[in-house]
Amino acid sequence: QGVFCPKPETPMHASGRMVRDWPDGRGTYFNPNCSFMVWLNVDDHAKIICAAKGSNMRDVFEHYIDAVQALEAAVNKAGYNFMFSDDLGYITTSPSNLGTGMKCSVFIQLPAMCDHDQLPALLEQLQLKSRPVAEHARANLSAWTPQTREVYNEGKLGVSENDLVQRVCRAADTLVACEKALAA
């Protein structure tokens, strides 16, 4: 439950005709515990999602890299390649995904921080964005509350996948420390 791809509703998707004939030609593949998923033809041709409960980002990241390499090898074996530019990185349907094309996110409960007026400035300083957890993702969170936030990297261009993950991990540590200080 909660792993099926939601229909994109943005003007970009509509103007690019990316939602025509929805849901024909789309699909979701996932393993039994939903820690690995591939959405096909939703935002891009393929969106790889690796997830785990807890704080071991290293294992999740290694799983993600293995999955990307396996998918790329299968695409290459079929005689195709992902579109890639030395200047822009992976070419995707959305310019916001140029570069690594990778979004690294964590779900954090921030009851005190959500009410604090300095949260947006802190996130900007950390080069991150935050939003409420999407409804389709809530089913996979055991302790979801309205103060649970998805915190994720803002940019993907000019930075490596490893740097993105490290940035998000350091920022999560900072946010948790701030949350504890505000709650004390």
Q: Which residues are annotated as a binding site for ATP?
A: 103-107, 131-136
Q: What is the CA radius of gyration of the chain?
A: 17
Query: CA-CA-CA-CA torsion for 150, 156, 158, 163, nearest 10 degrees?
Result: 40
Q: Which residues are annotated as a binding site?
A: 103-107, 131-136
C-alpha distances out from residue 99 to 43, 74, 76, 83, 158, Å:
16, 21, 20, 11, 6
